């Protein structure tokens, strides 16, 4: 075990997620002090608005007091944007940390939002659907009363413990309070398609992670230093967490030719060195509620021990603080892609960087969700589905091009080619194309800082430098700071 430092004492024994984020910020900001005023850096770092709510809920014959939060970290861009999570672990420190990460995340991928986050301190499994709806609608009403939600103010989205169902309750409540507001459906993203949602939002974070990892692994020089070949083909991958992010990450990485050798959950893990069939595994767990008994792998009762399996890429896609001093020295991977927010403590990261592990930070690699949420928000404000205006025109143009090719070459174009090349883009095609472009461009920005600045030793610091620079320039353009 590595010797404990002040960082360790602060973050392992007295763990504060928000202090971890602030420490990462300070590390990057110290490299920018000659460029930016201390007051400007302090403003970027500070949380701007905090709302704590307590409201009653009748459960059977008793009344429970529900604790909830909405925190807006930065108003350098409006609206603010961030998910709402339902978890018994929700607290002000966690929500502040997640709101701050959203600010930097949006800046890294050039999504014009400030960061925000919300949370309700409940275990959703302990409540009926009717009770969850009542909690969600009351929470939304409180946000409306305090002016903490709106298409130009603050736009929530799903997070841990929530999904399209909860977002539909939120938007319905908002619309009820704001009759005649034609942009009301832009008050929340991650909605069902039938409620003006967007295709591709559900799988966006996992798909974005796969796009980002594919780009990161495409540089032969970077991979050579890790003892790996370029590309994702045949890379061995362990995924922690098999919820929305973990499942879709595994599915799309499998499409790239990677081998998903282990998947872990709170009630156990499954391991197969030859690779798991992700869809088959998901169907089994959906039916049984566990990986135990899955015929194509070995069941491991202690799910978290799967983090320590030897692999090329580890994807922690559960909750924060999963890799810490207790297990960091036993992690045997070349690359960590942070599908969850804050899965590594700073002390653990220090150990892993010294071991030569490439850590692709959460504020970049899991930004697919907010990117596609941005597309959904644009769709709601424009009141037109992506592809509707140009799909048939593009299809006609492509078919005319194929016809011209046939005429010039005197050879017929196959039906498969006509189907793939001749068709116009649907909404999902445009969403995925925009997401891929976003993830590739953002990684190139981060890598450029990492490679060109000798003081930047890791990708997380590089990502923070990119984010802080963009936010600082936004503030400076307002004439507030010198």
The residues carrying an active-site annotation are: 117
- In the numeric block, the tokens 């990677």 are attached to 258
Q: State both tokens at 65.
A: 């007091």
Q: State both tokens at 98.
A: 């997640």
Before 160, cis peptide (omega within 30)?
no
d(CA 374, CA 333): 33
| CB-CB contact of 338 with 362 (8 Å) | yes
Largest CA-CA distance found in the chain, in angstroms, rounded: 80
Whole-Å CA distances, 18 to 25, 50, 127: 11, 14, 29
| CB-CB contact of 265 with 253 (8 Å) | no
Whole-Å CA distances, 262 to 241, 308, 315: 10, 11, 10
Nearest to 199 by CA among 366, 339, 386: 386
Q: State both tokens at 394.
A: 């593009």
Cβ-based burial of 39 (10 A; exposed 0-12, middle 13-18, buried ≥19): exposed
What count of residues does the chain have?
A: 482
Q: State both tokens at 238.
A: 């362990």
What SS3 state is found at 327? coil
d(CA 28, CA 257): 35
d(CA 249, CA 237): 10
């Amino acid at each position: 075990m590595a010797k404990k430092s002040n960082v360790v004492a602060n973050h392992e024994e007295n763990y504060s997620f928000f202090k971890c984020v602030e420490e990462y910020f300070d590390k990057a900001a110290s490299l920018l002090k000659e460029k930016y005023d201390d007051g400007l850096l302090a403003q970027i770092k500070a949380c701007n608005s905090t709302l704590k709510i307590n409201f009653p809920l009748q459960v059977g014959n008793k009344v429970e007091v529900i604790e909830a939060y909405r925190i807006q970290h930065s108003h350098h861009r409006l609206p603010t944007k961030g998910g709402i999570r339902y978890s018994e672990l929700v607290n002000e420190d966690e929500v502040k940390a997640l709101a701050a990460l959203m600010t930097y995340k949006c800046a890294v991928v050039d999504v014009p939002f400030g960061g925000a986050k919300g949370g309700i301190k409940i275990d959703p499994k302990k409540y009926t659907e009717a009770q969850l709806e009542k909690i969600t609608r009351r929470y939304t009403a409180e946000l409306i009363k305090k002016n903490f939600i709106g298409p130009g103010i603050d736009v929530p989205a799903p997070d841990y413990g929530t999904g399209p169902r909860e977002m539909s309750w939120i938007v319905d409540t908002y619309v009820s309070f704001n009759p005649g507001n034609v942009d009301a459906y832009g008050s929340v993203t991650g909605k069902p398609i039938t409620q003006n949602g967007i295709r591709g939002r559900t799988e966006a974070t996992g798909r974005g992670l796969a796009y980002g990892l594919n780009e990161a692994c495409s540089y032969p020089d970077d991979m050579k230093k890790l003892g790996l070949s370029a590309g994702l083909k045949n890379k061995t991958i362990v995924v922690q967490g098999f919820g929305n992010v973990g499942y879709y990450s595994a599915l799309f990485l499998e499409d790239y030719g990677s081998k998903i050798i282990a998947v872990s959950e709170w009630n156990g893990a499954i391991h197969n060195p030859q690779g798991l069939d992700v869809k088959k595994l998901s169907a089994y767990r959906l039916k049984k509620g566990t990986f135990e008994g899955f015929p194509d792998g070995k069941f491991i009762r202690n799910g978290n021990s799967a983090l320590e399996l030897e692999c090329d890429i580890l994807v922690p896609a559960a909750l924060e603080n999963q890799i810490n001093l207790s297990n960091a020295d036993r992690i045997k991977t070349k690359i960590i892609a942070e599908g969850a927010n804050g899965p590594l403590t700073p002390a653990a990261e220090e150990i892993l960087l010294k071991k030569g592990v490439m850590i692709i930070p959460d504020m970049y690699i899991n930004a697919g969700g907010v990117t596609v949420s941005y597309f959904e928000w644009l769709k709601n404000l424009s009141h037109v589905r992506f592809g509707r205006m140009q799909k048939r025109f593009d299809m006609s143009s492509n078919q005319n091009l194929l016809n011209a090719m046939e005429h010039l070459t005197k050879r017929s174009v196959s039906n498969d080619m006509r189907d793939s090349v001749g068709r116009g883009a649907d909404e999902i095609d445009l969403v995925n194309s925009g997401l891929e472009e976003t993830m590739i461009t953002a990684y190139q920005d981060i890598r450029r800082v990492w490679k060109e600045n000798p003081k930047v030793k890791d990708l997380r610091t590089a990502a923070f430098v990119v984010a802080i620079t963009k936010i600082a320039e936004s503030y400076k353009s307002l004439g507030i700071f010198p």
